[in-house]
Structure formats: C-alpha cells, structure tokens
C-alpha cells in the first residue's frame, strides 16, 4: 500500500471465525494516494488479544511492514478463528489512528488508535464490534500474500487478485465467480487459498456469467507472475454453474484445467454428458452447503458420482478443497 504520512489505499495493488486477520497493504496508484498529514506508520509485530462474545480472550497479532519506500503492507492474525483472516485493500493512517478494510467486505474493518507501543481499538464485523489490544513485540513476520485490484473485461466492478508473496515457484491459480448469495464467504475462501500458496482472482458477485468474462479472467491469471499456466481453473457458484460447458465451448482458449462448482442445481439436459465426462477425468469437484435439500445433492451425486461431491459446513469444505487442489 502506498503511504506518505497519511496513508489511504483502495487500489492496486467470511469466514467469521475470528482468527487471523490479514491486512496486507497493497501498492496503490499515485493519483489515489492522500497527502501526508501525520507521522509515518510504525511497523513491527504487534501481539495481543481480541474479545469476542462466547469466547475466552482470543490471541491476536498484527503485522505492519514497510518493504520499500512509499509502500506499506499489513496482516492481522487471530489464530483461534482463521476464517476472518484478510489482506486489506484500504489502509488509512492519520492522527495516530489506523483504519483497515477487508477486501470485498466493506462491513468488516479494523480501527486502532496508537498509544506509544500499543494499538487499541475495535474489529467491526458489520454491526458487531470486538475490542482489540496489541503491543509491539519485535520486527514484523514475513508477508504471506498480497492483494490488488484489477479490471476484467465483461464484468462489472473491479476484481481482487490474491497472490502469494513468493513467486519463485509457479503454482496453481483459479478464477472465483461468486453470486450475491455467496459473496460474503468468497473473500474468506480467497484468503485461505492464498495462504496455501495459490493465486485467486475474486470476480465481482453477479447472477450471470458470460463467455468473454470467463475467458478474460483465465487470461489474466495466465499472465500473472508466479502462476503455472497449465494449472489454472475456475470456481463457479449457483445456477450459472450449470451452463459452464456451454460457455467454455464458445471459446476454446478459455478451457480451465480444473473446475469447482458450488451449490449447482440440476444442469440443463444438453450439458449432462459433458459434466459426466469431466467428472470421470477427475477434473471436477462439486460443493454443496449443508442447508441445501438432500434431493439437490442426490442429483449431483447421480450425475457426477459420489466421489466428486462434498457437502458440509465451511470448515469441512475448506479441508476437502485444500486436499483436492493438492492433487491438481
């Protein structure tokens, strides 16, 4: 994140289990950087606690880094509740007050006031507020991943690119297309996958998906540093997933190497043969939330085979997806 004395960044670069909140400030565009009006942002590893209803005092850590002139990067961690980890795409520091916003979830933000070596403030999760107290314990830990904004032709709004800090070994990447119904949990998925070394392009939530949007998202990932171009896939949620074979057929250059589908209803008859073939090749995994009717999941198992279908709470699905991606 670009910073002068007052740092405000919203460019370039849900898991509401309150664990590590990762805020990695991204480099911003010069025309979007506010003028400096305060002291430089202090850096370091800040450790302390967070108070959440129904939980004992939770451990928390905030990493504030200054990797190069004019750039800041931050990451806050709550180890007992990892699905709240995030890298912030907005960072403001003025009058000894630090404010960070979670990418894709403007209702989740951290606001801290500096008091010597201490940071004291609140983590906001929409309407809820959780007190946070942190003290400097030494230099910051290394960066895990970065987040930046980018435009993808064929979509409305900006996409968020979550990419590991270490680009030395080309790795797996996927384009994540959430619907409005799954938009709240998508940033948590992106954070978790980026922490495992994957690159994730989180597209704006939408009820529709077009072939150009799909092709452009995959093309962006293939030209991203640190991505193995032979291991680029897609994650599509909701009813749009059923039309995925038709969209891929419109542009052969957009073919992904693997597919994840989430909460897909029964697909059109015209695509079922394609779905069966993809499942038989082992390049497909279907996910279903636990609240969905058994009939919907049974239809997925009948079409794809039980070995290609997973249903359960988010923590269970995360473990299943992580294991499945390791074999891709």
With tokens 């991204």, the residue in question is 26
pLDDT band, residue 183 (cuts 50/70/90): very high
18-72 per-position pLDDT tens digit: 333 333 333 333 323 233 334 588 899 999 999 887 778 889 999 998 877 777 8
**pLDDT for the residue numbered 70:** 76
User: Structure pTM?
Assistant: 0.82
**pLDDT for the residue numbered 98:** 94
Position with higher pLDDT, 9 vs 80: 80
240-273 per-position pLDDT tens digit: 998 898 898 887 767 899 999 999 988 888 888 8
Contact 241, 280 (CB under 8 A): no
Give the end-to-end CA distance of the chain in Å, rounded to a whole number. Answer: 33
- C-alpha distances (whole Å) from 23 to each of 35, 101, 115 are 22, 8, 20
Q: At what angle do helices 314-326 and 186-195 cross, to 10 degrees?
A: 40
Say which residues have a Cβ less than 8 Å from residue 280's Cβ, sequence separation at least 6.
305
83-123 per-position pLDDT tens digit: 887 777 788 899 999 999 998 888 899 999 999 889 999 99
Q: What is the largest CA-CA distance in the chain?
A: 65
């Amino acid at each position: 994140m670009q910073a002068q004395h007052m740092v405000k960044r919203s460019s370039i670069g849900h898991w509401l289990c309150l664990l590590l909140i990762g805020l990695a400030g991204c480099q911003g565009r010069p025309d979007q950087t506010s003028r400096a009006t305060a002291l430089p942002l202090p850096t370091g590893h800040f450790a302390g606690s967070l108070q959440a209803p129904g939980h004992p005092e939770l451990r928390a850590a905030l990493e504030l880094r200054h990797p190069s002139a004019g750039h800041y990067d931050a990451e806050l961690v709550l180890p007992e509740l990892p699905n709240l980890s995030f890298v912030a795409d907005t960072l403001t520091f003025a009058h000894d007050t630090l404010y960070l916003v979670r990418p894709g979830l403007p209702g989740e933000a951290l606001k801290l006031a500096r008091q010597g070596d201490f940071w004291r403030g609140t983590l906001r999760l929409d309407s809820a507020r959780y007190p946070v107290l942190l003290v400097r314990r030494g230099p910051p830990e290394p960066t895990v991943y970065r987040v930046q904004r980018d435009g993808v032709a064929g979509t409305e709004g900006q996409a968020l690119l979550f990419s590991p800090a270490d680009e030395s070994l080309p790795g797996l990447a996927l384009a994540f297309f959430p619907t409005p119904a799954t938009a709240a949990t998508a940033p948590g998925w992106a954070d978790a996958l980026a922490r495992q070394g994957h690159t994730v392009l989180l597209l704006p939530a939408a009820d529709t998906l077009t072939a150009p949007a799909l092709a452009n998202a995959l093309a962006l990932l293939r030209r991203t540093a640190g991505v193995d171009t032979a291991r680029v896939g897609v994650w599509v949620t909701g009813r749009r997933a059923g039309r995925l074979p038709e969209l891929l057929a419109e542009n052969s250059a957009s073919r992904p190497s693997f597919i994840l589908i989430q909460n897909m209803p029964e697909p059109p008859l015209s695509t079922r043969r394609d779905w069966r073939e993809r499942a038989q090749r082992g390049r497909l995994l279907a996910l279903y939330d636990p609240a969905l009717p058994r009939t919907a999941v049974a239809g997925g198992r009948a079409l794809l085979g039980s070995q290609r279908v997973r249903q359960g709470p988010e923590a269970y699905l995360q473990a299943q997806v992580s294991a499945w991606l390791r074999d891709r």
